[in-house]
Amino acid sequence: MKENPQETTHFGYQTVDKEKKVSLVGGVFDSVAAKYDVMNDVMSFGIHRLWKRQTIDSSAARKGQRILDLAGGTGDLAARFSRIVGPEGQVVLADINASMLEVGRTKLQDMGIVGNVDYVQANAEELPFPDDHFDVITIAFGLRNVTDKDKALRSMLRVLKPGGRLLVLEFSKPEQELLNQAYDFYSFNILPQMGGLIANDKESYQYLAESIRMHPDQETLKNLMQAAGFENVDYQNMTGGIVALHRGFKF
């Protein structure tokens, strides 16, 4: 019987049934959750902090706003947003993975951040929030792990207020071929070894490297956001295009 392409998707370089991808990705993040922050610093040489700072700056978040940090993991963005919106505002740290969400909850509570942050286990494709609810939505290094990106983007648009903005921070396509070659070598030869040494999990970081390569490039993601209904979509390359910050509005 001929395989129905609508029922399969990518898990790294593998082709898997769509219904299996969520559990496979879940297994990856269950495995890496405890060492996630350490590996982020090691993998990016700390530069991920600058990428996230630019995301915060581009959000134009203000006191009293309601913000969704989707696929928020260990809460780097949520912690900063909590301070910006203050006690009158609300931050929702949402992640599909319970292990990552628990690491984020513990981390923020240890930082003394309580009161204006809620923690919700949620699938980006079917967000459990009302229409027109959030002023800002961010998703940092999470969209590439979503099974149906089109459905997820439409779900984000639905819960975003008119005038609100979505910010997608994600690994992307380096602008220069020499940088692209060097990045490939690093991703497939060094990164999995780091994962094995630091997180005792070489396989998960092999998947993460593959998932980056399978993610849409800058222009393709821009087109996906526009097709989902976002307007004035643009993007900013950072670190030579290794990472791109996409921004779109709901009007």
Tell me how far apart the alpha carbons of residues 46 and 32 are, in angstroms, rounded to a whole number.
18
Spell out the residues 6+ positions from residue 52 whose beta carbon is closer than 8 angstroms to its own: 76, 77, 80, 140, 169
Domains and CATH numbers, the chain: 5-175+207-249 (3.40.50.150)
Return the pLDDT at 9.
80
**CA 111, 112, 114 angle in degrees (round to 5)?**
125
Taken in order 24, 27, 29, 32, the sign of the CA dihedral is: negative
pTM of the model: 0.87
Which of 35-49, 59-73, 111-125, 168-182 is predicted least confidently?
Answer: 35-49
| Cα distances (Å, whole numbers) of residue 127 to 75, 120, 142, 247 | 18, 10, 14, 19
Phi-psi region of 86 (alpha: psi -120 to 50; beta: other; left: phi over 0): left
Yes or no: say if 137 and 166 are a contact pair by the CB < 8 Å rule: yes
Phi-psi region of 62 (alpha: psi -120 to 50; beta: other; left: phi over 0): beta
Give the pLDDT confidence of 135-170 residue by residue, as tens digits: 999 999 999 989 999 999 999 999 999 999 999 999
Residue 75: pLDDT above 50?
yes
Give the pLDDT confidence of 189-221 residue by residue, as tens digits: 888 888 788 777 788 788 888 888 889 999 999
Q: Which residues participate in the annotated binding site?
A: 74, 95, 123-124
Residue 81: pLDDT above 80?
yes
Q: Which residues participate in the annotated binding site for S-adenosyl-L-methionine?
A: 74, 95, 123-124
